[in-house]
Amino acid sequence: MTAATITILDPGPQTTVQDGGRPGHLRYGIPPSGPMDRAAFVLANRLAGNDGGTAALESTLAGPRFETDAPCAIAVTGAEVEVTVNGDPAPRWTTLPLRAGDVVRLGPARTGVRAYIAFSGGVDVRPVLGSRATYLRGRLGGVEGRALRKGDTLRVGGAPLPRERSVPPRAIPDLASEPTIRVVLGPQADRFTDEGIEALLTGAYEMLPQSDRMGARLRGPRIAHRRGHDIISDGIALGSIQVPGDGQPIVLLVDRQSTGGYTKVATVCSFDIGRLGQVKPGQRLCFRAVGLGEAHRLLRESIASLEGALA
């Protein structure tokens, strides 16, 4: 099939090219990037007939409007946004065939934050360090390392149109509810008082507008330190919850720094990172501690659920 070109008519507040990520470079200060909500991203790609890590678009709070010049197929997942094709409503979480000249628009997010638009054959931009993912702070990957702008053109497709499939309602997450985010305590949980740990696990935390792909800034019950908040800088894992001197947690995400010198009270389980990334500013969440064995079991269950979502 001939590759299509899409033209960005309105980029939305922040729409970037992402793929499965850029692993192996954190030691040099380059984060993996990739999608915030990996499950939604993978399902969008599979609906479009691609491998789960194929380059696609991630929009934030509101989606883009674009036109295609040749037939292709897309899929929209993630945040609850209104999708229209030539002004007519179109479904999310399903394969959408497009014709040449079709104009697609994603509206503001009703629930959730980030929506994903996958194209049959994927988005074809030049790989940087083995990945097409956009790292905004480093101006790396994607389209010149930046968010999309009006007038940008992207080559997509070049693959046969996939058969039409849908994600069943049972597999679509509820993004309106206040989520419980599961964590494993540590690596410096011993640097916090018992009351501080209890505050983390019993209080509700509000997502702040200053949150981004680097970190989720939260406001809620103070997490008290036992003996100071500074440590010798060490590595930052995905989901690390660092607590500076004000006792307010920051969850470090896909565009995180490689090292940090604040104590880390817990680490968000990988299978809940996507749900955390869909919490809107002003919305609340709470944390629940699980042991390492339970975390491994829940990870296996989440992988199995993702694999069976389109069965």
Which residues are CB-neighbours of 93 under 8 A, at least 6 positions away? 43, 47, 75, 76, 77, 166, 167, 172
Q: Which residues of the chain have pLDDT under 70?
A: 1-2, 311
Residues 112 and 37 in one domain: yes
Q: Considering 142, 169, 196, which residue would you say is the last residue of a domain? A: 169
Q: Say yes or no: 196 and 144 in one domain.
A: no
The per-residue pLDDT for 1 is 59
Residue 40 inside a domain? The answer is yes
Q: Are residues 270 and 197 in the same domain?
A: yes
Is 206 in the same domain as 86? no
Tell me, what's the pLDDT at 55?
A: 98
Question: Within a domain: residue 242?
Answer: yes
Query: Do 158 and 232 share a domain, yes or no?
Result: no
**Domain assignment of residue 36, yes or no:** yes
Residue 175 maps to a domain: no
Task: Decide which of 143, 169, 195 is a domain's last residue.
Answer: 169
Kindly state whether residues 121 and 147 are assigned to the same domain: yes
Res 124: pLDDT: 96
**Structural domain range at position 246:** 180-307
Instruction: Name the DSSP class of 194.
Output: H
Q: Which of 169, 194, 217 is the last residue of a domain?
A: 169
Could you tell me the CATH number of the domain that includes residue 197? 2.40.100.10
Same-domain pairing of 258 and 232 = yes
Verify that 192 and 123 share a domain, yes or no: no
Tokens of 155: 């080559």
Residues 154 and 301 in one domain: no
Same domain flag for 193 and 289: yes
| pLDDT for the residue numbered 20 | 97
Which amino acid, residue 38?
R
Q: What is the model's pLDDT at position 311?
A: 62
In a domain, 174, yes or no: no
Distance CA 172, CA 65 (A): 24
Same structural domain, 12 and 65 = yes
CA–CA gap between residue 244 and residue 129 (Å, rounded): 33
Residue the block writes with tokens 């789960």: 52
**End-to-end CA, the chain:** 26
Q: Are residues 185 and 287 in the same domain?
A: yes
Domains: count for the chain: 2
